[in-house]
Amino acid sequence: MPNRYVYTVGNGHVGAIVKYDTETGRSWANELGDRVAGEAVFIPADGGTNEDDGWLMSILSERSGKGSQLVVLDAGDVAAGPVATVELPAARTSRIPRFLVR
């Protein structure tokens, strides 16, 4: 069965993490300003009943190279912004280590 929701990142002039609804064609974005997003990894919520019950994790890197953050978004409301942000001590790669994802 195909997924209803697809999550992508866009790193054009303004970076964004985007959620697409393949049934309705709607999309929602969390614009990142002057940051570049790595892959947005979906982590399902325990006991979730909807396909988008869970979180998206991504590492954001400053375009200036001065720093990075790990952000967690509510996959059901991507446009609302992060529910958690962790400042990383130095600029990091934009990949999330697989051991952080079940």
Question: Other C-beta atoms within 10 Å of 11: how many?
Answer: 15
pLDDT of residue 91: 63
How far apart are the C-alpha atoms of 54 and 65, rounded to whole Å?
30
Taking each continuous run of H as one helix and of E as one strand, the counts in the chain are 0, 8
For the residues 87-102, what does the mean pLDDT come to?
59
Q: What is the pLDDT of residues 66-76, one digit of tens each?
A: 888 999 999 99
Overall pTM > 0.85: no
For the residues 44-69, what does the mean pLDDT come to?
91
pLDDT of residue 93: 56
What is the per-residue DSSP string for 16-34? Answer: EEEEEETTT--EEEEEEES
